[in-house]
Structure 1
């Protein structure tokens, strides 16, 4: 059976608060820790009213301390927002405190809008790559772990805590770019099928076919991140999915509002064009009972050669959300 993991954005619902969303994350992590889930990853987003997850490294420590068996990691650290040395040291600290339980997932996007990205980076002059210095930052991060070339100006700096290696590295992506880069450096790869505009099969298979073993990894490890909602019956799962579907519709219009309550979503008067957009997005939100989702998700994982499935579930009712993960695990 393919392993299951969790991706958590700490969704803020219309009938709750961002602070409560963080406590809900801790409660969900404790819950899935008892269900056999393999990983629990936290996202990084900034200045979004529907997501309360700007600092995954803080939540990783909290969740690792509150659970026993989960691997806990970032899904991901948005490297353009951070100095590579800070990332290296923070994740060395986590690895020292929770050995062999931490993952370092790295993303290329800023996880926010352009103005907020500028506030995070404080850059006045663009790099020589049109402002995209992701490759430079990634290379520097790897140097902090493996050592700088002779003569490098940072070569005399000791990243702390000394003697602790970085956790396993994964590159995150929704296109071919990160898949090919992850394969080239021998890192793990996680494909975001839940919001990608392209099918997962191409990037996932390309990653496996192009993988080059390195000190980062001897074999490829591909994770498929999917949005899924499970309930006892297909009808109940469809009812619960109404909040996520309305939220997605709003996000596509540039409206980053809190996750609507179930009552609000069920009463929303969809226009014909809006309903058509919902129908077109059904392949990115997997909904149903255990009997429906088990063969569907198994076939999906096999078709893209995924080593594990990482589930993101947006349900405002936390009891129903916990039940969804329980049913998926069972």
Structure 2
């Protein structure tokens, strides 16, 4: 394990992904979310393929035990990405980031529902606190004022929340897939399926990008590939419980980019709600680590004969 290098890779991944989101947001008034997903996925492929080839894992990336598992995971993950990109059109970058912090909260819920994982009182309470934080973030966008609910903002909030739900479902699906699939194949086949699935949205209309938008979207795709490599490398070099909390550094990056490039000032409720969700998320991460250690000790305590 190389903890310092793992943390640096994770921070690099977070910075790259937030920058990618900002690039997508800058084109969102003209480029549909489905089209943005295509650029993000297709232009990430050369980076991912080159990385797998450099690590001599290209054959591993192609190999799969179940194409259909990748297909279903691709549908869920692509939906999460598309909804997240769509939310960027209607909400400030820090708010989309804050609502996205709900993903680990929903993972605990779905793991209990679909993987039969036990959720005891401690984690249940953390989930409840995290959901309260999400509502604090979303409340100003869903509150009724003199002119009623601001439709665009409410739509953006619901898109971001649904994206977090789909992202959590995708992560739960990946947990099942890791029993038979390698990390290389999961990363590679998701880029393939997301690229192909995004083409379906041509039916609802794509826009011809301007030369500047072409440059921005291609750069976003390349950054997506780089971010995926940095993220994967961070988890190779450090325990998940060590690097996962650094996801929350994305709030710092998104506030900075939002302020300097989009003139966005986060609402106090956004920062307060994000703080609540972050606290709940870190508690869940630490608890997951403790449970993981307990499971490992349990396995070591059992002899090969099961006695």
Does TM, scored on the shorter chain, surpass 0.5? no
After TM superposition, the score normalised by the length of structure 1 is: 0.25
More helix per residue: 2
After TM superposition, the score normalised by the length of structure 2 is: 0.26
Q: Could you say which structure has the greater relative contact order, defined with CA pairs below 8 angstroms and 6 or more residues apart?
A: 2
More strand per residue: 1
